[in-house]
Amino acid sequence: MRTPVLAELPPEDGLWLEIDTAAQRLCVWRGRELQWTCEVSTGGNGTGEEEGSGATPLGWHTIRAAIGAGQPPGTVYRGRRPTGEVYSKALAAEHPGRDWILTRILWLGGLEPGRNRGGRVDTQRRYIYLHGTPPSEPMGVARSHGCVRLRDDDLLALFDIAVPGTPVWLHD
């Protein structure tokens, strides 16, 4: 899929994602038709693009990479690679305070130079993902370290349709 051009967004007929950080909601659109929605958890530090802010970046993005196809739900990732672990309460007790990245990763890249692409505001270099999180983590509440957390079932459904090149609009 080719990278979308800002002038073409949102697509008139293609699939695209909307993430509303104020509502803590992800919407899947096909053109102007809403397909489905789910709750998410975005940055506990609010919104912002600055490297090291722990905030969720705004603006138009694209899915740059989809990581984890074929891995079991609950697969634990470090540095975008599966560790060989599957999340459990026992594993969580062994690693308190770990920022769990589970199941799948949809890695975002910014499309707006100076806002979310390039320099100290580059979404991709900030490693901003849509990813799974433990079932104990709340949805609908901004608690992440800047990424967008989803429940496993929602992430698995999204992973099947939101291929690399899919546009993503994050706003508050």
Per the CB < 8 A criterion, the answer to whether 88 and 94 are in contact is no
CATH topology of domain 6-171: L,D-transpeptidase catalytic domain-like (2.40.440)
Closest CA to 61 of 104, 139, 151, 121: 121
At 2, is the pLDDT very low, low, confident or very high (cuts 50, 70, 90)?
Answer: confident
**Torsion angle of the four alpha carbons 150, 152, 76, 56, in this order, in degrees rounded to the nearest 10:** -10
First-last CA distance in the chain: 27
Domain regions of the chain by residue span? 6-171
In angstroms, the CA 99 to CA 115 distance is: 26
Q: Report pTM.
A: 0.96
What confidence tens digit (pLDDT) does each residue in 98-135 have? 999 999 999 999 999 999 999 999 999 999 999 999 99
Q: 163: which 2 tokens?
A: 């291929």
What confidence tens digit (pLDDT) does each residue in 27-59 have? 999 999 999 999 999 999 999 999 999 999 999
